[in-house]
């Protein structure tokens, strides 16, 4: 297909779209213009990297496609239909992640997986109830593509008491997004979604239920897409890790990637009919969450492997800068870290190579067993990885002076002299690496590692449910010489053993 | 290719070949005929399963090929030249492993990887020195194929003091296989190889160095293939786990799979020229060991995943038989075990899917980084797996009476009554599973897990050597804003971040 | 108190008492005289070591006391009333354990803790119901002391379906020991106890419930002491690890310590009133189990630390024998093993040093929180310890020939030559150590480690129940500046922080 | 002894002493008066808590003694001579730690252990060389006591290339504190010490070598005590975790305990003779470091157990606030955390209860084997503890808005509504606990845990060196029936086993 029209926005065009009177708070203040805010700007620029790279001839072929109309659009917003599409998507995510220090720029990174989820589930609902959600979804996808919009995924409800279902909550009824009122031209919703990555730097937010519902919870079975500047929507930013005037040397990651997983609240917000993808069909709420997870695992697992490159690299460099890279315990830890990084890469890749064709659509997604194992291993081992990194980097990670001291001519000579490591390495390089190590081991990273893309317990539940116990039991029964009534195809026809010879 | 001739042996024909006056000792006695010995028979029958299955029409297409001469020969002895060949080989190994309780019948299982190793290295030596080893290897491969021989791999020397090289050893000079004398028509060798799986139930043994040598160690750089009944060869069996008269109920694995990793000693054994594959070219000794490991990893990793099916299955069944399968800690352990089993399967598969084309031959082998990680994870987690299995199975694994008590009409009613588990499960099934658990947790299995196919430290060394530290460091330096003189292709052209917008 | 009479038996006198027509089965056969049986003799001799040492002047002062009557009796059968008594008891157990390869000779080792448990609980029952069980217990203690009897503890019922309580069991009603009938002069009981260490080499068995009962389970609340040769009692031995004719070189532990944790079954056995310690008072069934555990933890934790000496020592020696003791990974593993051993020793000692005075008696027992942690750490780390040991010892642990081959003059020279390790170490010493390593890593040891003295989950439950959450929460609330309504004494009066200065 | 005079300072008096023209930098600026600085004030107030409590009648008896002159002085500055002294010192440290959120106020907390170290070593040096250092130390101790001074410990040199010794360093010679020049009345020193806790809020700093030296490194064998406002001393503060205007809700720990482990540099600083404790006697440099560690372990291990109270409490409360405290995985993690906390408490206590009498002085210190195990277990398990805490607390730890948003009336209602947890818990309490969890998991805490009081590798080295391998080997040789030439007293006289009966 020949390119006729450029649907892609430039970074500047994108940033301009954020000046739309959205209601955003940050660190105690209402922000009149997010493009002018010293901290929110970090998020904006990071999200804008999507546009920087899409417009870069070096990456255009990987990152964009020309669609059926001849418009150049983001590949990430295309439906992925083949294993090769998924392999390409992995390359896209890796590029994003390598460009921005392990955390892919988020213009479409998370929500594209939500878009695929509503694509699948809307067809199922339409099939059962004769609704027209699938057409709404398709129109929404077009809108996003043709305008190259940045959009966020609003999945996780604030939940209140985790021991109670949505309709059982005590203090109020809005702990999960719900339909407050139905009107001819649309619905009124209230509720809040938490941890919504980069939402204040996006144009749209896509809302879907975060877990299965029962009939009582019908009002909570709701999905839609909506501009973030819609009346009634308030976004309250995550407490920033850095303060105005910070130096990037001190905060190499927290100062360049402020994901701003904001709290987004909806107080009686109107959603027009054409933007609705689910409205009370409670049996399908769980499908939304499951399908989002299925698709999102590719994104999650791909960037994590890239993030780990950086962790192994920081450890290797700190060892060298400190002059201890040949010590046996250091090599042992570097080996473990390499294994961790390459295992995550391999499992992420294998999940895609053994992908699953979704039945109700023409979409594909990574193998859930492998993908869940990949995520679990990543999250479960992270704290050990930071322990090793911190062990090798040294106590100075906790005690180094600030960049301002380093750049202060009164103290710089002392710091240059005394915080030097091995000869041949500049003190500045060592100090920069020390600060990177500090950022890698932050509470924020730890928590992100465990909770983003589902907790450890969620992965364990999935793995248990996907386990092929019939096969495992058949193997054990054969070895124990126990007759198995439930013959398993892999074992049913095997010759007798020990043989009669 | 149409089949003209059947090179394959029947199990009975194979067993007959073992009556060749080989010198085998077992449990303190010289065994006059290994086919008549109550314990060695276990090994023979297990090895014979290769012949049982190759002759079975259900498996023939998978296990055998018709060669260029129109002879039907074992696929395992064919050189594997493509990724598809390796994928098929995995299927072969899985079938073998499922048939014989997780431990593939060993007629060709190990030594085929040694055959590939000498195939590769002989070409390298010939290229450098104009020797004719490659032709010897090809002739040897033919011989094995056309006669459907069982052969063992003699790699690991007995080593004496591990802190000393072969030529430095103090007590005597034969801790590593060595050339004692060169003669016109061949060489005289002495030495011993340890842990030689099923060698006393094989026709041939293939000998190669187990690690790199220096020039001083020249006499130890020797490789050849030889019939095990050659004069001067003595095989001393591993202490058997079972005794004559044992009941399979008590020893479901140890009573059906006696691998008999014997000590094979060579006292001035003559090896004719045409059977020699390396003779003093010490620079190539290390290649032999490395190449064997490269090829053997496929075999090793494939059967381990199958073995783990059995471990997970035994745990799941013991939980059910005891009535505790719904307890949270039991589900947690089953989840962990499933993850372990599926992770090994995935990594083993991925190693093959990302296989490496060997340069000096047309052979392929699994990706060494992935394969080493797979092996390490398998071995490192095994003891945790048995802990979980034993925890769920209960103390009865250590204290159950013997099968003879169960089959004794005086005690059987008491055992039937009191060792019953949950209703609906026969006491016999529970007792069989208990005994299987005991066998799985044996010292033998533990040690095999750690040491077969290279120790944990060996895997760690490989992973460290294969690590792509340049890539890792480039990622860390980019994030820390340190200029990297050694530009890395994946990071060299990335746009500036944070961007100037 | 001056010694007037020697209540202690000699080893020979003790062995003679075992010829009492007890009904014992072993490996499929009824054993007419346990003192003549080649395998049961192992247990008898091991139990007899208690008598060997008590009669040895070197150990008499530690192991025995002169009682109020002037009789010399076993200290272990005395009630322990002070911290110093417990410290002495630890020394007793350590001596026993060091003498017999880590596993204390069992004449009184386990059941003394049961005796203390029934001492405590009988008083509670008498107090509530006016029964006379305490007097029965005291008389029983006298009997044991004055006759220096060996007695076993029958605690663990066979349990059937672990998901059901005693009275709910489906197949039959005897999965837990129960009162079948009450008679004027006593009771008739049926049931079975599993894993009853050394019972077939004891004179008596003490029976008590293994967990709490409800009112429905009243018939199962029963405790008593009885000679093992009582009519209706059958003991079915654990499947032996060794066979007649075995060599101690091959089986240094399994051939010298056959604990024989037999299944003991009761089919309508009569128990006279004066031997009954609980009869239907179901509210006290749980106390029996808890109190047994409280007392038994001293025994358990003390011998485990001694057992670990042996494990660390075997690892250190194998490293030396193999010539690898200076390798960094070997030192690292030896350090870990030392830490493991010394941590268990320290925790066991601390539990005793911070012992608890039992309220209803004058007895003391180890601090349950510390003792549970000690046991958990021992059991949870065991499999890692054997992994390290096996890693360092080498594959030869799985593949070494038998002692019979070593002692066969035909094969001995080959084994002497080829299985030698570093110069200066005899091949025999190396082979003996290899076989010790094999025994340490056996399935039997693994399972014993996890299940003897309560499973991992049992320890976890105790620790959770004993946790001082009020203190922990008070600390967190203070730091988070949250007002704590439930003021905790350690935090209530602390000065304000940060201070107003 | 009756109190005649109050040597103790009030908090206000103490703060006043800090206005002494010391050269302190913080975040890029020279601080003219540390008592007026918004961030350094955090450290000052925290250090002042020592004075707050010493002057509090509730704690006076525990925290202070009346000395031989009738002066009331800090108990921490008294030499500890008995086990009871150490037990009391543990109570002191626990009180300090509980008052200030797990991190004991540092007026004397660290340096008292250095004072004990120089006390011991000065006597050794005097004995060998006839120097008079011990008298200097005693005078210094008097000075500290009588003036109730706050003093810091300057142990860790900046080290440069860790692979090189002090005199081998390449870039310059001052990577370790060294004697630049000797003068009649004293010495001139240059160098820098890193991670010097609270030094900028102390009166004095005690300098000692951080590891053993060789003869070449003679100039680096130097110890002395000196006021921090001495000419030539510069203190460069650790980069602060909080910024002026921060809210304590957001930073409950980092906002109340800024340990400020500063870099303290010495550029040609003069030290008068009477303040010198070591001057070139290089053989004793290592003793200083070892003795400091021996004494300091009590302090370190005691506060860590208190710190863990807080960690377990925060986990338990987050579980309750979220409504998940009954879930099996949550209870499992709480159990693990309790075990971790109580194990550290028990090991720390046991180290003191089994303390060692130092030979060259009348001082006592904790058992080094136990103390090293305690520290290792604390540090090695910390990251797992934070993983569990973060897992239970939820993603909100990474994404919560700032206190300023909570206190902003525009956003507070939304936050109150949507960040509520279970009914009955205020949103503010939940938010406070969330922020506490964030602080606990910070990079700072992680690194402190690993590196303060010696790294993991340092503990491992100590444990290996202290291991009683002779005992371990004797146990293994007895079990393996190997004759042990090096008879060990615990095993030498044991009776033969198995016995001949």
| Averaged pLDDT for residues A8-32 | 97
Contact B436 A480 (CB under 8 A): yes
Residue C471 · residue D341 · CB < 8 Å:
no
What would the two tokens of residue B279 be?
Answer: 């003779």
The per-residue pLDDT for range A229-264, each reduced to its tens digit, is 999 999 999 999 999 999 999 999 999 999 999 999
- Nearest-by-CA chain C residue for A332: C329
Closest residue by Cα to residue B313 from B431, B437, B127, B203:
B437
Residue C172 · residue B417 · CB < 8 Å:
yes
The per-residue pLDDT for range B139-184, each reduced to its tens digit, is 999 999 999 999 999 999 999 999 999 999 999 999 999 999 999 9
Residue A304 · residue B457 · CB < 8 Å:
no
- pLDDT of A475: 95
- Nearest-by-CA chain B residue for A435: B480
- pLDDT of A121: 97
Q: Distance between CA C83 and CA C66 in Å, rounded?
A: 20
Asked if the model's pLDDT at residue A298 lies above 70, the reply is yes
- Nearest-by-CA chain A residue for D266: A414
Interface test with A, best of B480, B483, B490, B497 (most A CBs within 10 A): B480
What would the two tokens of residue B220 be?
Answer: 């130890």
In degrees, rounded to 5, the angle at the alpha carbon of residue A96 between the alpha carbons of residues A91 and A98 is 90
Spacing of C-alpha B341 from chain mean position: 18
Residue A262 · residue A311 · CB < 8 Å:
no
Q: Distance between CA A495 and CA A480 in Å, rounded?
A: 15
Q: Distance between CA A303 and CA A307 in Å, rounded?
A: 6
Q: Is the C-alpha dihedral spanning D241, D246, D250, D256 positive or negative? A: positive
| Averaged pLDDT for residues B462-474 | 96
Our separate counts of H helices and E strands in chain C read 17, 15
- pLDDT of A454: 84
Asked if the model's pLDDT at residue D417 lies above 90, the reply is yes
What would the two tokens of residue D94 be?
Answer: 């626990």
- Nearest-by-CA chain A residue for B335: A464
Q: Distance between CA C315 and CA C308 in Å, rounded?
A: 11
Asked if the model's pLDDT at residue D246 lies above 90, the reply is yes
Q: Distance between CA A379 and CA D286 in Å, rounded?
A: 41
Closest residue by Cα to residue A479 from B429, B102, B345:
B102
The per-residue pLDDT for range C46-104, each reduced to its tens digit, is 999 999 999 999 999 999 999 999 999 999 999 999 999 999 999 999 999 999 999 99
Q: Distance between CA A352 and CA A86 in Å, rounded?
A: 6
Touching partners of D (3+ C-beta pairs < 8 Å): A, B, C
- pLDDT of A3: 81
Asked if the model's pLDDT at residue D153 lies above 70, the reply is yes
Contact C499 D56 (CB under 8 A): no
Contact D265 A414 (CB under 8 A): yes
Spacing of C-alpha A159 from chain mean position: 20
H/E stretch holding C277: strand C276-279
- Nearest-by-CA chain A residue for D232: A414
> Which of C255, C471, C476 has its CB closest to that of D317?
C476
Q: Which segments in chain C show pLDDT lower than 70? A: 1
- Nearest-by-CA chain B residue for D326: B328
* Confidence band of D96 (pLDDT split at 50, 70, 90): very high
- pLDDT of B100: 97
The per-residue pLDDT for range D309-341, each reduced to its tens digit, is 999 999 999 999 999 999 999 999 999 999 999
Length of chain B counted residue by residue: 501
> Which of B263, B404, B415 has its CB closest to that of C418?
B263
Q: Distance between CA D354 and CA D338 in Å, rounded?
A: 24
* Confidence band of D1 (pLDDT split at 50, 70, 90): low
Contact D446 A394 (CB under 8 A): no
Interface test with C, best of B261, B418, B451, B459 (most C CBs within 10 A): B418
| Averaged pLDDT for residues D441-449 | 95
> Which of A346, A469, A501 has its CB closest to that of B48?
A501
* Confidence band of B419 (pLDDT split at 50, 70, 90): very high
Asked if the model's pLDDT at residue A7 lies above 90, the reply is no
Of the listed ranges A232-236, A392-396, B433-437, C298-302, the one predicted with least confidence = C298-302
> Which residues in chain A touch residue D194, judged by CB atoms under 8 angstroms apart?
395-396, 399, 418-419
The per-residue pLDDT for range A140-175, each reduced to its tens digit, is 999 999 999 999 999 999 999 999 999 999 999 999
Closest residue by Cα to residue B40 from B297, B48, D320:
B48
- pLDDT of B485: 86
> Which of D42, D369, D501 has its CB closest to that of C12?
D501
- pLDDT of A484: 84
The per-residue pLDDT for range A38-72, each reduced to its tens digit, is 999 999 999 999 999 999 999 999 999 999 999 99
Please, what is the average pLDDT of chain A?
96
Q: What is the ipTM of this complex?
A: 0.96
CB atoms within 10 A of CB D326: 10
> Which of C161, C411, C422 has its CB closest to that of B423?
C161
- Nearest-by-CA chain A residue for C329: A328
Touching partners of A (3+ C-beta pairs < 8 Å): B, C, D
Q: Distance between CA D435 and CA B231 in Å, rounded?
A: 78
Q: Which residue has the tokens 């092929």?
A: A468
Asked if the model's pLDDT at residue B484 lies above 90, the reply is no
How many CA atoms does the CB half-sphere of D223 hold within 13 Å? 36
Contact D442 A442 (CB under 8 A): yes
> Which residues in chain C touch residue B238, judged by CB atoms under 8 angstroms apart?
398-401
- Nearest-by-CA chain C residue for B456: C391
- pLDDT of D216: 96
Residue environment code for C66-81, b if the CB has 16+ CB neighbours within 10 A, otherwise e:
bbeeebbbbbbbbebe
The alpha-helical segments, DSSP class H, found in D66-222 are: 83-99, 111-129, 133-147
Interface test with B, best of A57, A62, A475 (most B CBs within 10 A): A475
Closest residue by Cα to residue A334 from B68, B467, B316:
B467
Q: Distance between CA C61 and CA C58 in Å, rounded?
A: 8
Closest residue by Cα to residue C161 from B432, B416, B314, B321:
B321
- pLDDT of B415: 98
Residue A128, Cβ density class (10 Å: 0-12 exposed, 13-18 middle, ≥19 buried): exposed
DSSP conformation class of A453 = T
Residue C345 · residue C309 · CB < 8 Å:
no
* SS3 state of residue D378: helix
Contact A195 D158 (CB under 8 A): no
What would the two tokens of residue B469 be?
Answer: 């530290």
Q: Distance between CA B187 and CA B193 in Å, rounded?
A: 18
Asked if the model's pLDDT at residue A136 lies above 90, the reply is yes
Q: Interhelix angle for A456-466 vs B328-353, to 10°? A: 80
Contact C433 D249 (CB under 8 A): no
* Confidence band of B1 (pLDDT split at 50, 70, 90): low
pTM of the model: 0.97
The alpha-helical segments, DSSP class H, found in A256-327 are: 285-322
| Residues ≥6 apart with Cβ < 8 Å to C276 | C133, C136, C186, C187, C222, C223, C224
Q: Interhelix angle for A83-99 vs A40-54, to 10°? A: 130
The alpha-helical segments, DSSP class H, found in C354-455 are: 368-393, 396-399, 403-407, 412-418, 427-440, 443-451
Contact A347 B347 (CB under 8 A): yes
Angstroms from D77 CA to nearest CA on chain C: 22
- pLDDT of A1: 60
Contact A395 D163 (CB under 8 A): no
> Which residues in chain D touch residue B336, judged by CB atoms under 8 angstroms apart?
none
Percent of chain A with pLDDT over 70: 100
Touching partners of C (3+ C-beta pairs < 8 Å): A, B, D
Closest residue by Cα to residue C494 from D30, D105, B192, A459:
D105
């Amino acid at each position: 297909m020949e390119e006729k029209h450029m649907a892609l926005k430039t970074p500047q065009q994108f940033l301009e779209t954020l000046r739309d009177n959205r209601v955003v708070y940050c660190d105690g203040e209402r922000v009149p213009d997010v493009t002018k805010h010293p901290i929110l700007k970090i998020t904006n620029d990071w999200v804008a990297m999507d546009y920087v790279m899409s417009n870069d001839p070096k990456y255009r072929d990987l990152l964009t496609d020309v669609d059926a109309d001849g418009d150049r659009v983001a590949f990430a917003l295309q439906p992925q239909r083949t294993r090769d599409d998924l392999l390409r998507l992995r390359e896209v995510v890796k590029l994003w992640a390598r460009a921005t220090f392990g955390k892919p720029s988020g213009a479409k990174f998370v929500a594209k997986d939500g878009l695929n989820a509503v694509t699948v589930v809307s067809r199922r609902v339409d099939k059962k109830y004769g609704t027209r959600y699938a057409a709404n979804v398709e129109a929404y996808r077009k809108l996003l593509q043709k305008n190259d919009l940045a959009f966020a995924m609003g999945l996780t409800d604030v939940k209140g008491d985790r021991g109670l279902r949505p309709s059982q909550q005590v203090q109020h009824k809005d702990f999960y997004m719900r339909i407050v009122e139905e009107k001819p031209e649309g619905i009124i919703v209230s509720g809040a979604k938490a941890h919504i990555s980069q939402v204040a730097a996006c144009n749209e937010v896509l809302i879907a239920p975060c877990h299965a519902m029962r009939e009582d919870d019908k009002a909570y079975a709701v999905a839609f897409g909506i501009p973030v500047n819609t009346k009634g929507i308030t976004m309250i930013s995550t407490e920033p890790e850095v303060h105005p005037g910070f130096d990037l040397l001190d905060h190499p990651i927290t100062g360049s990637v402020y994901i701003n997983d904001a709290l987004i609240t909806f107080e009686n917000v109107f959603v027009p009919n054409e933007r609705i993808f689910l409205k009370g069909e409670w049996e399908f709420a769980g499908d939304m969450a499951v399908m989002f997870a299925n698709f999102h695992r590719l994104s999650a697992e791909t960037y994590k492997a890239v993030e780990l490159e950086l962790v192994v690299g920081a450890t290797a460099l700190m060892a060298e800068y400190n002059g201890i890279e040949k010590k046996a315990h250091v090599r042992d830890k570097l080996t473990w870290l390499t294994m961790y990084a390459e295992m995550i890469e391999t499992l992420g890749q294998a999940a895609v190579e053994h992908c699953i064709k979704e039945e109700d659509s023409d979409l594909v997604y990574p193998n859930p067993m492998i993908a869940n194992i990949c995520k679990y291993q990543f999250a479960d081992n992270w704290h050990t990885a930071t322990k090793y990194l911190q062990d090798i980097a040294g106590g100075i990670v906790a005690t180094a002076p600030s960049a301002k001291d380093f750049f202060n001519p009164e103290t710089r000579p002392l710091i240059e002299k005394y915080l030097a490591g091995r000869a041949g390495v500049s003190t500045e390089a060592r100090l920069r690496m020390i600060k990177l190590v500090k950022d890698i081991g932050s509470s924020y990273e730890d928590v992100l590692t465990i909770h983003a893309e589902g907790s450890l317990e969620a992965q364990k539940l999935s793995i248990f449910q996907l386990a092929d116990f019939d096969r495992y039991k058949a193997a054990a029964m054969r070895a124990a010489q126990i007759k198995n009534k439930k013959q398993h195809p892999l074992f049913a026809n095997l010759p007798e053993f020990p043989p009669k010879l």
